[in-house]
Amino acid sequence: MIVTIDGVAASGKSSVSSGVAQALGVPYVSSGLLYRAATLLGLEASLDLHAAPHLLTLLGTHPVRLEPLAGGNRVWQGERELTDDLHSTRVDRGVSVVAALPEVREWVDAQLRALPEPFVAEGRDMGTNVFPHASHKFYLTASARIRAERRARERPEDVPAIEAALQRRDELDTVQSAPAPDALVIDTGPLDLQGVIDTILTRLR
Ligand code: ADP
Ligand code: CDP
């Protein structure tokens, strides 16, 4: 069984996926963390984030591993844990450029498809591209302002700056971020976190 939860930036994908996964007693899989890890390593190596070859060589020689858990995912490069470095403003800024590279998308997709079922997978294209045969699909939305207000509690920038950055990333992610035709679209604006989780669990039951 695979449940997919896609959606726009800061729509609640990881918090909701974690809640749903814990209720189901399965791990959740955060695909965005792999794009973030590729971006962090590219930035640290001062690579051109628009150019795939050097990035892929780096990822090939220093393999990155996603550890999917119900409570939160962790990312490793060998013995080094990258998790806490993946949500910085500079990774936020660069990640959509890296995620637009087909070679990087293949690198992420191969890792995700190798994971043992069951799990809840969250990202942009889990229900459309990576797991089109998933048993249940959801897509989370909310206005840019509401998402920015939520994220402002986790980032040093103010709401207008975060809102502008989210809108820029939404635009860059448009290609891979669309609801699957068979996904239930949930506007999380009027709901709290538990309300979104309960909506999904009700549908699953
Ligand atoms: P994403 O994985 O889509 O980037 P997150 O799960 O990180 O989103 O959520 C972004 C922030 O918004 C977190 O601080 C989270 O607790 C909060 N949040 C998510 N969904 C809701 C909601 N429905 N109501 C209130 N806060 C929410
Ligand atoms: O929720 P938020 O957008 O802040 O972060 P994320 O889910 O970690 O995704 C970070 C970035 O990775 C997105 O902005 C996309 O550019 C990319 N991504 C993607 O292209 N496809 C996915 N399945 C997941 C993430």
Q: How far apart are CA 167 and CA 148, in angstroms?
A: 10
- Establish whether residue 73 lines the binding site of ligand 1, counting it when its CB lies within 6 angstroms of any ligand atom: no
Residue 160 belongs to domain with CATH number:
3.40.50.300
Residue 70 is predicted with a pLDDT of 80
Please check the confidence at residue 28 and state whether its pLDDT lies above 90.
Answer: yes
- Please, what is the average pLDDT of the chain? 95
- Establish whether residue 111 lines the binding site of ligand 2, counting it when its CB lies within 6 angstroms of any ligand atom: no
Range of lowest pLDDT (106-110, 115-119, 174-178, 188-192): 174-178
pLDDT average, residue stretch 19-46: 96
Give the chain's domain count: 1
* 5 within 8 A of 180, measured Cβ to Cβ: no
In this prediction, does ipTM exceed 0.95?
A: yes
pLDDT in tens, 136-191: 999 999 999 999 999 998 888 899 999 999 999 999 999 888 999 999 999 999 99
> Cα–chain-centroid distance for residue 98?
13
pLDDT average, residue stretch 18-40: 96
pLDDT average, residue stretch 111-140: 97
CA 194 to centroid of ligand 2, rounded, Å: 22
DSSP letter for 135, please. Answer: S
Q: Which domain holds residue 139?
A: 2-204
pLDDT average, residue stretch 88-102: 94
Nearest residue to 2 via CA among 31, 33, 27, 34: 27
3-state secondary structure 63-92: CEEEECCCCCCEEEECCEECHHHCCCHHHH
In angstroms, what CA-CA distances link 74 with 1, 47, 108? 22, 24, 15
- Establish whether residue 123 lines the binding site of ligand 2, counting it when its CB lies within 6 angstroms of any ligand atom: yes
